[in-house]
Structure 1
Amino acid sequence: MAAHRRRARRRLPRRDGGRLVTDVLCITVTYSPGPTLEAFVGSLAPNGFPPGRVVVVDNGSTDGAPEAVAEAHPEVTLVRAPGNVGYGRAVNLGAEQARSADEWLLVCNPDTLATPDTLARLLEAAHRAPRAGALGPRVLDPDGSVYPSARALPSIRTGIGHALLSGVWPSNPWTRRYQQRDVSASASPAEVGWLSGAFLLLRREAFDQIGGFDPDFFMYFEDVDLGRRLAEAGWSNLFVPEAVVTHVGGESTARSADAMVAAHHRSAHLYVAKTHPGALWRPVVAVLGVGLRLRSRATIVLDRLRG
């Protein structure tokens, strides 16, 4: 494991009179993100990233957006993945751009919008909580409502109840237990099972210790798995409500809705398999796999019927 000594945050002066943060590397992953990437990078500007410190790892975009943003913004470094390698593996590629002085990795979706003090609030909380391996802000939907981004790790029982009933009975006890909407809506910081990967400040020491994101997860559940492994390694996942971002939703996800549904269910099955290994659990994992495939197909059909 690489050793990273704690030190005071170093900031350099910006031309506009603000300060540049020099120990944080920002990583975002793109796949034909459209105009959301430009808006995302623009929202980061007041947080103070010097040239080259916002890494865009591109998974094979065809819309030209990553190239245009890299050309227009000196703080952006464009890294091309060898094809569409998935989200977690792409983040790991971006993390390879970190320098020895980088103590923090800010991992964000390119369809999020930060406020001018989002990063400062997260860093302040991180310095108050030296065992926090991951810190996440309050996440707002475009209409201003609070997204349940600070959740409990799902057990098999909770996962089954949530999967079966969340669509027809959103307030069922299993969904409530899993989503913990009261935590995400609270004004108080809280340690939780996992935090949404839409916007995460990761302590690099912790990230390196657990080997980064598990590349077996192509998309979805890589953040759940990260939170679980951080906790197993003795780190906490800290929800920081005074830091706020908005998740506007991405063009690539909207264009590939069916593929996203299928990927979500495959990753759910993979998570269950990884957290319940061994012969005793094998029949249970197999049955759940069948159920998840059926639910995936039913969800795709229903979504198409709804238009």
Structure 2
Amino acid sequence: MTGEPETIAVVVVTYNSASLIEDLVASLAPGLRGLNWHLTVADNDSRDGTVEAVRRFAPFAHVVETGRNAGYAAGINAAVAAAKPFSAVLVLNPDIRLGGDCVPELLKLLRERGAGIAVPKIVRANGDFSPSLRREPTILRAFGDALGATRMGRYRLFGESVTNPASYADEVTVDWAEGSIMLIDKPCWDACGGWDETFFLYAEETEYALRARDHGFAMMYTPHANARHLEGDAATNPPLWALLTLNRIRLYRRRHNAVSTAVYWAMVLLREASRAALGNPSSRRATKALLSARRLRERPGPLSIAPAA
């Protein structure tokens, strides 16, 4: 993009997000300081006044009403398709709050380090450390997750979640990261195409990051860009946790042979069944889903999950 002005397409997917809009919009200007940007919101048929909130607090935004609960990936694709010209796409959850100069710092990774996707340091709503970086799913990492994700996440071979705070101190290339905030360079977007809409929710960010890597575009993390995530916890919502678990299997199956997938499924089942035996309701729901041949075959969508708490 040398010689051309940088313009960021900020895309937000909303679903019953009215209470989140005012603070999100307030964080955009300081978070994108010094950059040209425009906002496109794709609303997945909210019934709580989300669209009205967007028009009140961001009258400059372009709103795309999908007319259905289309899912996160479909919302992103709809927003990008409707956005004005851009040099990079900033994908945001409505419950993200940008820190000051967050996006200029992310843009440095794209321009100075040659990354295709850039992600920031994320903290939780109360400011606590949030382990947002991930490693590529493998059988050993699924086994490590069964033994204890927080403990085993400190070890590259056995942990999918990067749980050691020291690993977040420096700029680093990562396999993937949570999809609540990502800055995607236009050449990466053009080469990879849109996000995979067959993942209604969860694993779509993993699939996109790994697909970008397949096309030669690395994802990089920087501690110099900061954002706060007011995240809900899928682990405490049984339907959402079951969906997340099923999509882990579906994604792995796409990239590996049947034998490897069967072993991976067994490791994920070991994790969920062991926790179900201890009375965890989310793991009970996930175990039931993992043992259902029909659920493993189907494409989970909005009818098979409940809204997040």
Q: TM-score, normalised by structure 2?
A: 0.79
> 1:141 aligns to what?
124
Matches within 5 A, 1:210-289: 210-250=192-232, 257-277=237-257, 279-281=258-260, 283-284=262-263, 287=266
> 1:181 aligns to what?
163
**CA-CA distance at 1:260 after TM superposition:** 1.5
Q: Say whether the 8 Å CA contact 2:100–2:226 is kept in structure 1.
A: no
5+ residue gaps, structure 1, are: 1-5, 11-21
Q: Say whether the 8 Å CA contact 2:116–2:185 is kept in structure 1.
A: yes
Note the aligned Cα RMSD (angstroms). 3.0
Q: Say whether the 8 Å CA contact 2:241–2:282 is kept in structure 1.
A: no
Q: Percent identity?
A: 25
**CA-CA distance at 1:282 after TM superposition:** 5.9
CA deviation digits over 1:210-242, x for unaligned, max 9? 122111111111111111111111111100110
5+ residue gaps, structure 2, are: 286-309
- Whether 2:143 is the aligned partner of 1:154: answer no
- Whether 2:44 is the aligned partner of 1:67: answer no
Matches within 5 A, 1:10-89: 10=5, 23-46=7-30, 47=32, 53-89=38-74
CA 1:269–1:302: 2 relative to 1, 3 Å: closer
**CA-CA distance at 1:8 after TM superposition:** 3.9
2:219 alignment partner, SS class = strand
CA deviation digits over 1:82-102, x for unaligned, max 9? 311111121111110233x41
2:159 alignment partner, SS class = helix
Distance 1:232 1:126 in 2: 17
Moved more, 258-267 or 286-295: 286-295
Q: Say whether the 8 Å CA contact 1:137–1:244 is kept in structure 2.
A: yes
2:136 alignment partner, SS class = coil
Q: Say whether the 8 Å CA contact 1:26–1:55 is kept in structure 2.
A: yes
One-letter code aligned to 1:300: P
Distance 2:65 2:166 in 1: 35
* Paired residues, number: 279
Distance 1:237 1:214 in 2: 18
Distance 2:275 2:36 in 1: 43
- Whether 2:193 is the aligned partner of 1:208: answer no
One-letter code aligned to 1:216: T
Q: Say whether the 8 Å CA contact 1:40–1:110 is kept in structure 2.
A: yes
**CA-CA distance at 1:129 after TM superposition:** 1.7
**CA-CA distance at 1:286 after TM superposition:** 6.2
Q: Say whether the 8 Å CA contact 2:105–2:224 is kept in structure 1.
A: yes
Distance 1:228 1:210 in 2: 10
Distance 2:37 2:61 in 1: 5
Q: Say whether the 8 Å CA contact 2:239–2:282 is kept in structure 1.
A: no
**CA-CA distance at 1:287 after TM superposition:** 4.9
Q: Say whether the 8 Å CA contact 2:137–2:252 is kept in structure 1.
A: no
> 2:293 aligns to what?
none
**CA-CA distance at 1:35 after TM superposition:** 1.4
One-letter code aligned to 1:60: D
1:147 alignment partner, SS class = coil
CA 1:186–1:289: 2 relative to 1, 3 Å: closer
Distance 1:69 1:247 in 2: 19
CA 1:206–1:52: 2 relative to 1, 3 Å: closer
One-letter code aligned to 2:118: L
CA 1:75–1:258: 2 relative to 1, 3 Å: farther
One-letter code aligned to 2:27: S
**CA-CA distance at 1:299 after TM superposition:** 4.1
Q: Say whether the 8 Å CA contact 1:218–1:263 is kept in structure 2.
A: no
Q: Say whether the 8 Å CA contact 1:187–1:242 is kept in structure 2.
A: no
**CA-CA distance at 1:145 after TM superposition:** 2.0
**CA-CA distance at 1:188 after TM superposition:** 1.4
1:146 alignment partner, SS class = coil
CA 1:246–1:301: 2 relative to 1, 3 Å: closer
2:106 alignment partner, SS class = helix
Distance 2:259 2:169 in 1: 42
> 1:3 aligns to what?
none
